[in-house]
Amino acid sequence: MPRLITGLDATRIAANLKRIREEIGERIQILAAVKYVPLEEMDTLREAGLTLLGENRAQELEQKAGAHPDFTWHFIGQLQSRKVKQIVPYATVIHSVASESALKQLATHATPETRILIEVNVAGEEGKAGIAPDELPRYLEQSPVEVLGLMTMPPFTDRPEDSRRHFAALKALADAHGLRELSMGTSQDFAIAAAEGATIVRIGTTLYT
């Protein structure tokens, strides 16, 4: 299991944030992925100028967002329908809706502020989270809350360029359905994602080291 990231330096994070911002431009939101950042380091993130944080686990989101409501919080981990009730009080956007059972739970538990992204498995990877692209119209029709856009995680690769076609496919799918937000790109491939139309990039290690 990866170790927690501790001993963060606000000056270094701010410099990394500035470098990433210069590389991708002003229009794209930089979401700091904090799965491995402990609660006690949240003040350092604020000092560094971060405002949008994303957590992967429902319990950690509840703890961190409950203690630090001054950040804007998104949920970016695999969404279990039984965790929806726990997530919605804290996450203004849920990035990973990919089951009809999650939609049903949102119908019951969503707040007026809840917005979602539909996770799409654009590469058709076996066993990977996300709906098939041709399922999207049904999800849009059934969603009880506003769907802002789409999210994807392309297949793992050592070459960021290999992800370009998957990001382009997500952008085309979003455009075809009039969806404006695209959450795609992480530490290793955020520049490629930005070039292909990302509106949110989810960055962890590259911000902190």
Which of 25, 101, 29, 134 has the alpha carbon at shortest distance from 72? 29
Tokens matching residue 183: 């959450």
Contact 53, 41 (CB under 8 A): no
Mean pLDDT confidence for 120-132: 94
At residue 197 the predicted structure's pLDDT band, cuts being 50, 70 and 90, is very high
Digit-coded pLDDT (tens) for 66-118: 999 999 999 999 999 999 999 999 999 999 999 999 999 999 999 999 999 99
Burial class, 169, CB count within 10 angstroms (exposed 0-12 / middle 13-18 / buried 19+): middle
Compute CA distances 65 → 13, 44, 74, 104, whole Å. Answer: 20, 15, 10, 24
pTM of the predicted structure, to 2 decimals? 0.96
Dihedral sign, CA of 76, 170, 125, 188?
A: negative
Q: What is the pLDDT of residue 155?
A: 93
Contact 76, 33 (CB under 8 A): yes
Digit-coded pLDDT (tens) for 145-166: 999 999 999 998 989 999 999 9
- Residue ranges and CATH numbers for the domains of the chain are 10-203 (3.20.20.10)
Whole-number mean pLDDT of the chain?
Answer: 96
Dihedral sign, CA of 42, 46, 47, 48?
A: positive
Sequence length of the chain is 209
Mean pLDDT confidence for 116-128: 94
Count of other CB atoms within 10 angstroms of residue 173:
20
Backbone phi, psi, residue 76, to 5°: -120, 0
Q: Is the pLDDT of residue 2 over 90?
A: no
Provide, rounded to the nearest whole percent, the portion of the chain with pLDDT above 90. 96
Backbone phi, psi, residue 161, to 5°: -60, -25
Compute CA distances 77 → 93, 110, 163, whole Å. Answer: 12, 17, 20
Let me know the angle formed at the C-alpha of 128 by 20 and 76, rounded to the nearest 5 degrees: 40
Which of 106, 91, 30, 97 has the alpha carbon at shortest distance from 61? 91
